[in-house]
């Protein structure tokens, strides 16, 4: 993981970082060279909101719906420090690929974590979700 790329994303316009996130998401896991003419920026914006809500479970206390104390402390500091914390969480705890984690962390640090805890959704166990889908098919 290259921290220079994180620094670069922190200084670029948000649209460019969304574009990079969309490109990383599209090409992640592709074994062959794939070429597509997509709106990568729109894809990046969609990926951002989806992954932001995933990270909300790592960053927020579900009972108080507030940032965990150590996250709040990081959010008060420099954007680079917050981006580094978010990058670490995204790539280790959440298991996102580094190609996605770097632009995601940069966007989240620049946009802030103001309302992220409001995005907490109840976690549905995988077997319950599968059971619900099977019931819909009937």
pLDDT per residue rounded down to tens, the chain (138 residues):
568 888 999 999 999 999 999 988 888 867 666 666 788 899 999 999 888 888 888 899 888 889 999 999 998 888 888 999 999 888 888 888 888 899 999 999 999 888 888 877 666 555 666 777 778 776
Cα–Cα distance for residue pair 83/66, rounded to 1 Å: 19
Residue that is written with structure tokens 């290259």 in the block:
2
Domain residue ranges in the chain: 3-137
């Amino acid at each position: 993981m290259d921290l220079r790329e994180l620094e670069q994303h922190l200084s670029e316009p948000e649209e460019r970082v969304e574009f990079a996130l969309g490109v990383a998401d599209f090409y992640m896991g592709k074994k062959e060279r794939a070429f597509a003419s997509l709106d990568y920026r729109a894809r990046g914006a969609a990926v951002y909101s989806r992954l932001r809500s995933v990270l909300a479970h790592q960053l927020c206390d579900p009972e108080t719906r507030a940032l965990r104390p150590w996250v709040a402390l990081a959010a008060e500091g420099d954007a680079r420090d917050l981006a580094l914390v978010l990058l670490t969480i995204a790539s280790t705890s959440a298991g996102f690929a580094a190609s996605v984690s770097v632009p995601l962390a940069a966007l989240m640090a620049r946009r802030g974590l103001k309302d992220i805890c409001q995005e907490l959704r109840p976690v549905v166990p995988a077997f319950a979700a599968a059971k619900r889908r099977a019931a819909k098919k009937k």
